């Protein structure tokens, strides 16, 4: 039983529904009721489906709880345990009160989304009207595969686009002298956000210290006093809470450097063409990298340069979102890259190759070969518009036959002698000519374009709607094949009845209407064909199933 895996929040025994005793379960996502002695829920509502709950007035003898759904249906629950009925009901009510708002938001969102889609897409709206409002298929069925399509971009559009960080956010905190030997810094929440996103270490410190150890104001005061904020972070004292941040930044930068670059075209390490052995060359005296012989000023200068690189990198990373926590997650990441470094030999060449290819290829040296389009080559255009037709016994004429008959006709024409005595009257002749010219009785097949002139616009529109609706239904129907699950089996049966219903309620009236006005043209022939095709398929499937069963 599926319910077992769910978390049951509340169980209320002796609750009656439709005069049947049973147990009420409140679970994490739904509320359910099962009759006594059966392990099956006969009532089950997702919280998201519930619009509101109503309770019976206090004085009433029957202590009830009513759940009203978005669809308008309602379920009455009667708490029948004499002694504790009121308490039970209130417990259930309170819990629902807590739970419903959570799901309401989601439900509303979903509804909004549906609403939005319907408003934005008139075709969909029409389809909705045709199928759901006329109860050909249920709303859930209608939305079932629409929402899933839209869920992806739905979540995207829902996600607020993140705003990048200005590179100069530190410059924006212009300190102002307040007149009495102090500085005032103006911090806005934006700037704080920027600082946190750029320097996760500071955020961590903030989390650690505020508000247990110091107030927010104190924290920022210290931050601005700290050398961490000031440029040459060399003399960060030990007592400074930010000295650790500086170290952490350093570590982050180092590990980023250690990870190396992905683009081989900018990798200076690999670019270095070191064909000279050690000791050869005119200026191979390696620059001493030890810091001991550097002056303090030089050290602070290079610290500034490092800081700028780090700052820019972090701002960039914060902008691109996902990498914002790179230096934090470094510790675990480095180990994984370590393992990869051996394989990198295998993975590198393709990237390199692609990059090099990019660099050496000139677009304008390519021959212009136009846009490649795939020509649709229809051998039998009727097949394209009607779908595959079962092979009927047909009379084929071989090419030899055709050639022979053409020859025959040629001969006959060559040897044609007009028999002037046996001509028809001029009136009959002109009649025949009229019948054979375009628009005439015999040439009606050629006058297809006339159809949009013959049929008034409102009928055309209606036909269009019918087509989209029928197409949607048929899509549902055909998507069930191959029928390999129980669910699909049910669905295919349902869809067939849906199709029949549609044919009865929508197509027939239209046909009758058309027939009343235009006897000659068969507008719905193709639609009927499609339905027939579906029925045939269904029939075939059913007989096969029956055969398998017996």
Judged by beta carbon, residue 170 or residue 234, the one nearer another protein is 170
Distance CA 83, CA 93 (A): 17
In Å, what is the CA distance from 254 to each residue of 141, 271, 326? 56, 21, 12
Judged by beta carbon, residue 35 or residue 264, the one nearer another protein is 264
Identify the DSSP state of 131: I
Judged by beta carbon, residue 349 or residue 387, the one nearer another protein is 349
- Rounded (10°) CA dihedral 137, 138, 139, 141: -70
Distance CA 521, CA 503 (A): 19
Contact call for residue 81 and another protein (CB under 8 A): no
Tokens 């170290």 correspond to what residue? 247
Contact call for residue 381 and another protein (CB under 8 A): no
Identify the DSSP state of 15: E
Interface residue with another protein among 1, 365, 413, 486 (CB under 8 A) is 365
Query: Binding residues for another protein, how many (CB under 8 A)?
Result: 64
Cβ(250)–Cβ(314) below 8 Å: no
Binding mask 198-237 for another protein (x = CB under 8 A): ---------------------------------x------
Judged by beta carbon, residue 120 or residue 272, the one nearer another protein is 272
Q: How far is the CB of 286 from another protein (least distance, A)?
A: 10
Interface residue with another protein among 175, 260, 321, 439 (CB under 8 A) is 260
Contact call for residue 309 and another protein (CB under 8 A): yes
Which region, judged by CB under 8 A, interacts with another protein, from 135-143, 315-323, 406-414, 490-498?
315-323
Q: How far is the CB of 344 from another protein (least distance, A)?
A: 13
Distance CA 84, CA 94 (A): 15
| Structure tokens, 468 | 């989209």
Residue 481's closest CA among 433, 545, 395?
Answer: 545
Identify the DSSP state of 59: T
CA-derived radius of gyration, the chain? 40
List of long-range contacts for 185-188, beta carbons under 8 Å, 24+ apart: 185/220, 185/224, 187/220
Judged by beta carbon, residue 189 or residue 282, the one nearer another protein is 282
Judged by beta carbon, residue 269 or residue 441, the one nearer another protein is 269
Q: How far is the CB of 257 from another protein (least distance, A)?
A: 5
Contact call for residue 306 and another protein (CB under 8 A): yes
Interface residue with another protein among 1, 189, 237, 280 (CB under 8 A) is 280
Question: Taking the CB of residue 92, how many other CB atoms lie within 10 A of it?
Answer: 22
Interface residue with another protein among 363, 382, 412, 458 (CB under 8 A) is 363
Judged by beta carbon, residue 7 or residue 358, the one nearer another protein is 358
Contact call for residue 313 and another protein (CB under 8 A): yes
Contact call for residue 258 and another protein (CB under 8 A): yes
Distance CA 116, CA 103 (A): 19
Cβ(128)–Cβ(119) below 8 Å: no
Q: How far is CA 62 from its chain centroid?
A: 47
Which region, judged by CB under 8 A, interacts with another protein, from 139-147, 237-245, 269-277, 496-504?
269-277
Residue 511's closest CA among 520, 522, 497, 500?
Answer: 522
Which region, judged by CB under 8 A, interacts with another protein, from 10-18, 133-141, 362-370, 539-547?
362-370
Judged by beta carbon, residue 284 or residue 335, the one nearer another protein is 284
Distance CA 230, CA 224 (A): 8
Contacts of another protein in 137-176 (CB under 8 A)? 164, 166-168, 170-171
Q: Provide CB contacts within 8 A for 300, sequence distance 6+.
A: 231, 232, 234
Q: How far is the CB of 191 from another protein (least distance, A)?
A: 14
Question: Taking the CB of residue 25, how many other CB atoms lie within 10 A of it?
Answer: 21
In a 10 Å sphere around its CB, with 0-12 CB exposed, 13-18 middle and 19+ buried, how is residue 20 labelled?
middle
Which region, judged by CB under 8 A, interacts with another protein, from 115-123, 257-265, 383-391, 405-413?
257-265
Identify the DSSP state of 62: S
Contact call for residue 369 and another protein (CB under 8 A): no
Contact call for residue 343 and another protein (CB under 8 A): no
Q: How far is the CB of 91 from another protein (least distance, A)?
A: 55
| Structure tokens, 55 | 């309770």
Contacts of another protein in 283-302 (CB under 8 A)? 283-285, 287-289, 293, 297-298, 300-302
Q: How far is the CB of 364 from another protein (least distance, A)?
A: 6
* DSSP string of 143-198, one letter each residue: HHHHHHHHHHHHHHHHSPPPP---TTHHHHS--EE-SSS-EE----HHHHHHHHHH
Interface residue with another protein among 98, 312, 407, 515 (CB under 8 A) is 312
Contact call for residue 266 and another protein (CB under 8 A): yes
Judged by beta carbon, residue 260 or residue 439, the one nearer another protein is 260
Bond preceding residue 24 cis, omega within 30 of 0: no
Judged by beta carbon, residue 61 or residue 359, the one nearer another protein is 359
Contact call for residue 308 and another protein (CB under 8 A): yes
Contact call for residue 82 and another protein (CB under 8 A): no
Distance CA 426, CA 172 (A): 100
List residues binding another protein (CB under 8 A): 164, 166-168, 170-171, 231, 253, 256-258, 260-263, 265-269, 271-273, 275-285, 287-289, 293, 297-298, 300-302, 304-306, 308-309, 312-313, 315-316, 319-320, 349, 352-353, 356, 359, 362-365, 368
């Amino acid at each position: 039983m599926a319910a077992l895996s769910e978390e049951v929040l509340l169980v209320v025994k002796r609750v009656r529904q439709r005069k049947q005793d049973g147990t009420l379960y409140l679970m994490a996502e739904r509320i359910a009721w099962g009759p006594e002695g059966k392990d099956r829920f006969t009532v089950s509502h997702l919280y998201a489906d519930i619009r509101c709950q109503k309770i019976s007035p206090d004085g009433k003898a029957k202590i009830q709880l009513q759940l009203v759904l978005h669809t308008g249906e309602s379920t009455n629950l009667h708490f029948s345990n004499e002694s504790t009925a009121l308490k039970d009901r209130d417990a259930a009510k309170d819990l629902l009160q807590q739970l419903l708002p959570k799901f309401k938001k989601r439900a509303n969102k979903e509804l909004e989304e549906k609403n939005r889609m319907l408003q934005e897409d008139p075709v969909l709206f029409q389809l909705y009207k045709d199928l759901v409002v006329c109860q050909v298929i249920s709303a859930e069925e209608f939305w079932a595969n629409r929402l899933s399509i839209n869920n992806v971009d739905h979540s995207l559009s829902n996600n607020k686009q993140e705003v990048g960080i200005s590179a100069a956010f530190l410059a924006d905190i212009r300190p102002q002298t307040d007149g009495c030997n102090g500085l005032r810094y103006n911090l806005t929440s934006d700037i704080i956000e920027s600082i946190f996103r750029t320097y996760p270490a500071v955020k961590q410190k903030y989390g650690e210290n505020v508000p247990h150890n110091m107030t927010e104001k104190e924290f920022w005061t210290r931050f601005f006093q700290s050398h961490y904020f000031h440029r040459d972070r060399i003399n960060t004292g030990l007592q400074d809470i930010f000295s650790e941040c500086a170290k952490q930044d350093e570590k982050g930068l180092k590990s980023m450097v250690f990870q190396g670059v992905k683009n081989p075209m900018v990798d200076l390490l690999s670019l270095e063409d070191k064909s000279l052995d050690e000791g050869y060359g005119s200026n191979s005296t390696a620059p001493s990298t030890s810091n001991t012989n550097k002056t303090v000023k030089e050290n602070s200068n290079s610290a500034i340069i490092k800081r700028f690189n780090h700052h820019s990198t972090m701002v960039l990373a914060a902008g691109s979102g996902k990498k914002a926590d790179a230096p934090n997650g470094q510790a675990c990441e480095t180990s994984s890259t370590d393992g990869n470094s051996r394989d990198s030999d295998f993975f590198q060449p393709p990237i390199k190759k692609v990059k090099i290819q990019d660099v050496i290829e000139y677009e304008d040296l390519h021959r212009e070969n136009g846009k490649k389009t795939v020509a649709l080559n229809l051998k039998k255009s009727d097949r394209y518009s009607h779908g595959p037709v079962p092979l009927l016994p047909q009379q084929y004429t071989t090419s030899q036959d055709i050639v022979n008959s053409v020859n025959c006709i040629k001969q006959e024409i060559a040897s044609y002698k007009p028999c002037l005595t046996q001509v028809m009257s001029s009136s009959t002749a002109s009649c025949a000519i009229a019948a054979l010219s375009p628009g005439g009785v015999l040439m009606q097949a050629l006058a297809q374009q006339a159809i949009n002139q013959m049929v008034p616009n409102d009928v055309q529109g209606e036909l269009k709607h019918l087509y989209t609706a029928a197409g949607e239904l048929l899509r549902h129907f055909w998507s069930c094949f191959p029928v390999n699950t129980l669910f699909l089996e049910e669905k295919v049966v349902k869809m067939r009845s849906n199709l029949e219903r549609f044919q009865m309620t929508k197509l027939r009236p239209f046909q009758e209407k058309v027939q009343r006005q235009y006897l000659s043209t068969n507008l719905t022939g193709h639609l009927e064909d499609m339905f027939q095709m579906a029925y045939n398929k269904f029939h075939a499937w059913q007989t096969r199933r029956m055969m398998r069963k017996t």
